[in-house]
Structure 1
Amino acid sequence: MHSLHCGSNSRATLYSARVNANRIRKTIITMATPAPKTGHHDVKQSLRDEALSLFFDASDIKVTPTTGGVNNVVQYVETSSGERFVLRIYNNGNKSDKVRFEHEVLRQLHELEKKSGEKMSFDLPRALPSKAGRPHELLSSGAECCIFHIIEGTLAKTTSPEEVGRATGELCTAMAGVRYDIMPPPFNVEGCTPIAPYWELFKAHHAVMTREVFYNEVDTNPGFNVCREAIDYLVEQIRDIEVRMEGFKKLGMPVQYIHADLHYDNVMVVGDKVSGLLDFEFCTYDWRAMELAVALSKYVGEAEPLPLIERFVTGYVQKGALTETEIDCIPDMINLRIFSNVVYFTGRAIAGEDGLDSLTSRAGTYAKRVKWVNANIDAIKNTIKQKLKVLTSV
């Protein structure tokens, strides 16, 4: 069950989105393996050793768990000489095309740095070539694996929002230089990516793909009853934004490749300096402004969001571009990111990649964020416009 997203005009897909919703759900549940405990993905030692053997000769490799890895198996690796790396074994339904695309985007970004002669102000993930010279390898289980060099630092969280904003704007501008025409097939067509853009909300996960599957699942699965009030509110809001998105598509907002998951839990800092940006596995071709919206979607969950948003945007506008139309759409785009998470975790539960608690445990938080955004639409837009005005008047 694979899909390739090629924009609204030229779609190539190997997943039939016209199948009856109940039939899809029944088929996927039959195929699914038991879901791992949410946020704690592990792997058999034999598979881990297989992955390590594709990259290292030594047998005295030390492996320790990380605190990250919400979607994938992620472990620290240390060689006998003291070199440190990160092992990633993907838990994405064995979607090799997603891994190939991620590493191609990273390759182009590194190449852009070399050609310009100017390194970005932070590090990007850098894959260790396998013994065969490849950035990632296919395991006997069907999962892909790779080894990344360590990026020093700690997760930014809510520290240094201005610096994180500046780095986010810098990356967004750099991502505009990623070219589809030099990508390997099938990605060498404009807009063709293995990850759907946010405007294709119900394609956030391959086990959903249609609005009918999503709405049927949240309506009939008794597992949602533990958060019924929150999930019903989110569903109501999703139905509302479906209508508004049709209008967004007619606005001609800039589109480009974006990281699409660049929030403060994917940013490393050393002191107040951003040392690296992580996890490019959800890169897609989307509205440029979604990069900013994704970042802000985490801050709106904090106790006092507006000061954090103000400081983040102060940094973002120094390196990233925005139009008036994009700014006016940012509040809805923030919510769109949250709704995408709802669809995504619903799909992971259907496919057996996670337990349903990966969503039910977050539903209340998601609903709270959406309510805050809806109550502060003007404040969000005015903050961004003010910061942009200050910058352009200097």
Structure 2
Amino acid sequence: MVQNIDSGSLHPSEQQRISEVLALYGFTSDWKGERGKGGMNNSTYMLHVDGTNYVMRQYETHNDPMKITFEHEVLEALQRSNFKLDTPSPVRRASGEGGTFLPIKDTLTGHTKIVTLFHYSEGVNPIWHTPDQLIGLGKAAGALSYVMATLDIPLDPVYPPYYRIQDAYPLCSPERLLQLCTSPPEQLAACTNELKQLREALPDLFEALRGMEHLPHQLVHGDVNASNVLVDQQDGGICAILDFEFATWDLRVMELAVPMSDLLTMDKSEDWMWQAQEGLIRGFREQVSLKPEELLAIPRLILLRSLDVVMHFISRMFEDTDEPEVAVEQIVKLKQRIDWMRLHEERLREILVY
């Protein structure tokens, strides 16, 4: 079996798993590796084999072959498209049917996890220093949206659209969320006040989602933000878009609403945020022509994005995947965004139609 020749901080069980995966992909040389930062939904490892860099991903919570098959179909279609930025490229196994992922038993937990190998993408996650940087993010999201609309994916998506939130989280349905707001459990005691105030606001937001199904739909990434893009270390321009785990058939305009939502609770001045929002919108609309009714829906979709994150992390809390503090943080952010929207929705609409 191929061996790690520079173990670093890797646990022996991780070294064994990586060696096993590389062998199944047909590698016979020794390797070097280190644990990556990873995300909330997976573990990542940076590997160097035969003079080439790879990223190994172990799916932790999206451990569903149907979801991963759809994600990889999208990624392979993007590789065949004329999209200019880098996107993750799954490595095909040399043996068997040449698939792009495989099940591996975790010796520590005994659970079987899905593992895949990607070609390494150069770049680093951006840090937003100036509002003008968000023009580049808008252009990248718009360019991706334009190309994603042309992809022909023969599979049905696994994830429902954002606005069908009642179908997305069985452990935290809208009805259960409202119950939690009325009688917060001990795990969420730190945000009791926010939950009780959300109890008043959420019914209107759920109601506002009616009719969204009539807006233009297409394939979307669904999570374009600073943690899922890379910039070139030399010129600072966006060079890659990563993490297509949530790609699905959804509202076209959601690809703009998601990064707009994420800007609202950044630790920046109000003026900085407004300039950044204007740049983000301008960059996106250089690539995609949005209809007036799509622009009209954006304020509600910004809040929907935050609501979706709350329901996601409450579900993970119930599954014991994440600590309650993660859900508490997102509940507080949702309350802050709803308060912000009450004060600033009119101005936001003005820059959207400018």
User: Scaled by the length of structure 1, what TM-score is found?
Assistant: 0.77
Residues 33-80 of structure 1: CA deviation (Å, up to 9, x unaligned) = xxxxxxxxx99524444333322524632221222322111121112x
* Selected match of 1:100 from 69, 92, 95: 69
Which residue is equivalent to 2:31? 61
RMSD of Structure 2 on Structure 1 (CA):
2.2
Equivalent pairs, count = 326
Residues 293-352 of structure 1: CA deviation (Å, up to 9, x unaligned) = 011111111223211001111211111221111111101100000000000111111122
SS, match of residue 255 in structure 2:
helix
Change (3 A) 1:100 1:225: same
Using the alignment, how far apart are the partners of 2:65 and 2:119 within structure 1?
A: 21
Alignment partner of 1:263 is 2:225: yes
User: Which deviates the most, 278-287 or 82-91?
Assistant: 82-91
RCO higher in 1 or 2 (8 Å CA, sep ≥ 6)? 1
User: Which deviates the most, 92-101 or 316-325?
Assistant: 92-101
Using the alignment, how far apart are the partners of 2:319 and 2:44 within structure 1?
A: 20
Q: Which amino acid aligns with 1:354?
A: D
User: Which deviates the most, 144-153 or 347-356?
Assistant: 347-356
Using the alignment, how far apart are the partners of 1:234 and 1:149 within structure 2?
A: 43
Q: Is the 1:300–1:373 contact (alpha carbons within 8 Å) kept by the matching residues of 2? A: no
Q: Superposition pairs for residues 295-314 of structure 1, below 5 Å?
A: 295-302=259-266, 303=268, 304=270, 305-314=273-282
Q: Is the 2:55–2:117 contact (alpha carbons within 8 Å) kept by the matching residues of 1? A: yes
Using the alignment, how far apart are the partners of 2:127 and 2:332 within structure 1?
A: 20
Q: Superposition pairs for residues 194-213 of structure 1, below 5 Å?
A: 194-208=158-172, 210-213=173-176
Using the alignment, how far apart are the partners of 2:20 and 2:204 within structure 1?
A: 48
Which residue is equivalent to 2:186? 222
Structure 2: runs of 5+ lacking an equivalent: 1-10, 106-110
Q: Is the 2:103–2:112 contact (alpha carbons within 8 Å) kept by the matching residues of 1? A: yes
Residues 182-241 of structure 1: CA deviation (Å, up to 9, x unaligned) = 33xxx2xxxxx2112111113333533x32343345535210001212233344433221
Q: Is the 2:309–2:330 contact (alpha carbons within 8 Å) kept by the matching residues of 1? A: no
Identity over the aligned pairs, expressed in percent?
Answer: 25
Change (3 A) 1:310 1:43: farther
Residues 81-137 of structure 1: CA deviation (Å, up to 9, x unaligned) = 3321111100125311111110111122222x2xxxxx3231111111123321111
Change (3 A) 1:143 1:379: same
User: Scaled by the length of structure 2, what TM-score is found?
Assistant: 0.85
Which residue is equivalent to 1:33? none
Q: Which amino acid aligns with 1:275?
A: C
Using the alignment, how far apart are the partners of 1:272 and 1:167 within structure 2?
A: 13
Q: Is the 1:202–1:343 contact (alpha carbons within 8 Å) kept by the matching residues of 2? A: no
Using the alignment, how far apart are the partners of 1:278 and 1:202 within structure 2?
A: 27
Q: Is the 1:173–1:321 contact (alpha carbons within 8 Å) kept by the matching residues of 2? A: no
Alignment partner of 1:350 is 2:318: yes
Alignment partner of 1:165 is 2:138: yes
* Selected match of 1:328 from 296, 317, 320: 296
Which residue is equivalent to 2:121? 151
Q: Which amino acid aligns with 1:260?
A: G
1:165 is displaced (CA, Å) by: 0.6
Using the alignment, how far apart are the partners of 1:348 and 1:44 within structure 2?
A: 25
SS, match of residue 207 in structure 1:
helix
SS, match of residue 79 in structure 2:
helix
SS, match of residue 127 in structure 1:
coil
Q: Is the 1:158–1:299 contact (alpha carbons within 8 Å) kept by the matching residues of 2? A: no
Structure 1: runs of 5+ lacking an equivalent: 1-41, 114-118, 188-192, 387-394
* Selected match of 1:288 from 230, 234, 252: 252
Q: Which amino acid aligns with 2:243?
A: D
SS, match of residue 143 in structure 1:
strand
Change (3 A) 1:44 1:322: farther
Q: Is the 1:135–1:146 contact (alpha carbons within 8 Å) kept by the matching residues of 2? A: yes
SS, match of residue 351 in structure 2:
helix
Using the alignment, how far apart are the partners of 1:355 and 1:341 within structure 2?
A: 15
